[in-house]
Chain A
């Protein structure tokens, strides 16, 4: 995989969240007219994967009604966008919490492993898991 998209309500705020809070690196920032920019970030240890911070702008891709619906769904916290792995979930949790990241669930041991849930600045939610949760390949 080279690119994945996360729909965001505000690109500048999302850039701040993903770089200054989660520690991602900004990869591309290309102006695309007055309302948007092609803005991508990468997890620090996976520079080959670019996460596109995509704004909902009314236009060819998002007619007005569609745009309004998507914005409402994002605000409601409808979209679970993925899983992030970290070396130490307790340290990562304490650090992100200290930086003001909103957690829906603190790290908890489940039957499938330890997991926490947090939201980005738009309302998209992610699972946070330690790398040790990964199932060994058979």
Chain B
């Protein structure tokens, strides 16, 4: 059943990717990840990029910012989010976040909070009308 080509390579690369996902808040040494995956650093980076389209370092940055977006959407303060996703300095977090997302973390947090207020005030504005009618949500 599971006999596709190079299955052992896939498993090692996927384990390395999941390690990054699960330890993004920590100071990850990407050299150690290639060691744990039993690859030379060069071979590891090449295979990782082939599968995920990003080098391990680029991927780590990507998942940290994605996690930061997720945490900011829950209303957690910027300084807390910065350290929770593995950054050591607020300024480097802020500039990288702005470069990737397009707005500063504090502006993003403010947008999200305004959105939550609007959702509580006028929830039906955020739902397609057909669903509102079919479920009788406008009758409540």
Contact = CB atoms under 8 A, between A and B. Distances in A.
> What is the interface of chain B mostly: helix, strand, loop, or mixed?
helix
Contacts of A88: 51
A106 B14 contact: no
Main secondary structure of the interface of A (DSSP, over half): mixed
Contacts of B38: none
Interface string A101-120: 00000110000000000000
B11 interface: yes
A90 B135 contact: no
A106 B123 contact: no
Given A59-B135, A60-B136, A107-B4, A30 B14 contact: no
A84 interface: no
B18 A98 contact: yes
A61 B134 contact: yes
Interface string B101-121: 000000000000000000110
Interface stretch (A8-16, A31-39, A68-76): A31-39
A87 interface: yes
A26 to B, nearest CB: 8
Interface of A: 2-3, 26, 28-33, 38, 52, 59-61, 87-88, 90-91, 94-95, 98-99, 106-107
B134 A38 contact: no
29 contacts: A3-B128, A28-B119, A28-B126, A28-B127, A29-B119, A31-B119, A31-B120, A31-B123, A32-B127, A32-B137, A38-B126, A38-B127, A38-B131, A59-B136, A60-B135, A60-B136, A61-B136, A87-B53, A90-B10, A91-B14, A91-B17, A91-B51, A94-B10, A94-B11, A95-B17, A98-B18, A99-B18, A106-B1, A107-B4
A30 B13 contact: no
A95 B120 CA distance: 37
Given A26-B73, A33-B140, A91-B10, 20 more contacts: A29-B119, A31-B119, A31-B120, A32-B135, A38-B123, A38-B131, A52-B131, A59-B135, A59-B136, A60-B135, A87-B52, A90-B4, A91-B14, A91-B17, A91-B52, A94-B14, A95-B14, A95-B18, A106-B1, A106-B2
A88 B5 CA distance: 12
A38 to B, nearest CB: 5
A30 B127 contact: yes
A98 to B, nearest CB: 6
Contacts of B127: 28, 30, 32, 38
B137 A33 contact: yes
B95 interface: no
